[in-house]
């Protein structure tokens, strides 16, 4: 469903103190409860639940399926724990959401990988180019890379439930 105009794009601008993952999950569940057809992936930080402070899962918003985003690298490892296979799976799920013509795609964040030119960066652009609105989050430390990537297009939202939900409902025509 390619259009001449790029679709609406918003990023929640957050600091390390803001629980942005919980905010995005809360908003997504509120939207789904209103019948908005969602696609994309959102992050669950599960570290405290399994005594692994870096453990993360992704939730596929199309079907609720959750899978690990972090990989076990062994004791003392200082390497990035992001599982490349899980990231590839998330990319496929985002592309499927585009093919399904969902009303809104959520991508957990424009983070370190995206700032470096990889991660889900290509999929974020694909969604907007396909004419589907997209919501993501960007940490303050990656704001320069976000601005370069987005070209100043889109909106920056505060990490506040009502502001984010209002943007989503307006964009989805509700």
CATH number of the CATH domain containing 160: 3.40.50
Query: How would you class 168 by CB atoms within 10 Å of its CB: exposed for 0-12, middle for 13-18, buried for 19 or more?
Result: buried
Residue numbers of the domain that contains 13: 9-42+88-171
pLDDT value for 36: 96
Tell me, yes or no, whether 161 lies in a domain. yes
Tell me, yes or no, whether 97 lies in a domain. yes
Tell me, yes or no, whether 55 lies in a domain. no
Tell me, yes or no, whether 54 lies in a domain. no
Instruction: Judge whether residue 124 has pLDDT over 60.
Output: yes
Tell me, yes or no, whether 58 lies in a domain. no
pLDDT value for 5: 60
pTM of the model: 0.87
Residue 84 — pLDDT band, cuts 50, 70, 90? confident
Share of the chain above pLDDT 90, in %: 69
The stretch 117-125 carries a mean pLDDT of 94
Instruction: Judge whether residue 68 has pLDDT over 90.
Output: no
The stretch 120-143 carries a mean pLDDT of 96
Instruction: Judge whether residue 138 has pLDDT over 50.
Output: yes
DSSP the chain: ---SSPPPEEEEEE-TTS-HHHHHHHHHHHHHHTT--EEEEEEEE-HHHHT-TT-EEEEETTT--EEE-B----TT--S--B-HHHHHHHHHHHHHHHHHT-SEEEES-B-HHHHTT-TTHHHHHHHHHTT--EEEEEEGGGHHHHHHHHTT-SEEE-S-HHHHHHHHHHHTT-
Structural domains of the chain, count: 1
pLDDT value for 75: 54
Helix axes 20-33, 161-171, angle to 10 degrees: 40
Question: pLDDT averaged over the chain?
Answer: 86
Tell me, yes or no, whether 53 lies in a domain. no
Tell me, yes or no, whether 66 lies in a domain. no
The stretch 11-27 carries a mean pLDDT of 95
Instruction: Judge whether residue 37 has pLDDT over 70.
Output: yes
The stretch 96-112 carries a mean pLDDT of 95
Instruction: Judge whether residue 119 has pLDDT over 80.
Output: yes
Tell me, yes or no, whether 51 lies in a domain. no
The stretch 106-127 carries a mean pLDDT of 94
């Amino acid at each position: 469903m390619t259009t001449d105009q790029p679709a609406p794009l918003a990023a929640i601008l957050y600091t390390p103190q803001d629980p942005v993952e919980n905010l995005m999950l809360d908003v997504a569940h509120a939207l789904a409860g209103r019948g908005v057809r969602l696609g994309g992936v959102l992050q669950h930080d599960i570290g405290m639940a399994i005594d692994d402070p870096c453990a993360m899962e992704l939730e596929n918003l199309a079907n609720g399926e959750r899978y690990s985003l972090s990989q076990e690298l062994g004791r003392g490892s200082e390497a990035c724990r992001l599982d490349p296979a899980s990231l590839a799976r998330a990319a496929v799920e985002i592309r499927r959401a585009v093919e399904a013509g969902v009303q809104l795609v959520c991508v957990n964040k424009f983070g370190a990988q995206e700032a470096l030119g990889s991660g889900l960066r290509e999929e974020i652009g694909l969604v907007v180019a396909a004419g589907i609105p997209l919501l993501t989050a960007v940490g303050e430390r990656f704001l320069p890379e976000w601005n370069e990537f987005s070209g100043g297009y889109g909106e920056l939202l505060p990490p506040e439930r009502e502001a984010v939900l209002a943007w989503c409902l307006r964009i989805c025509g509700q």
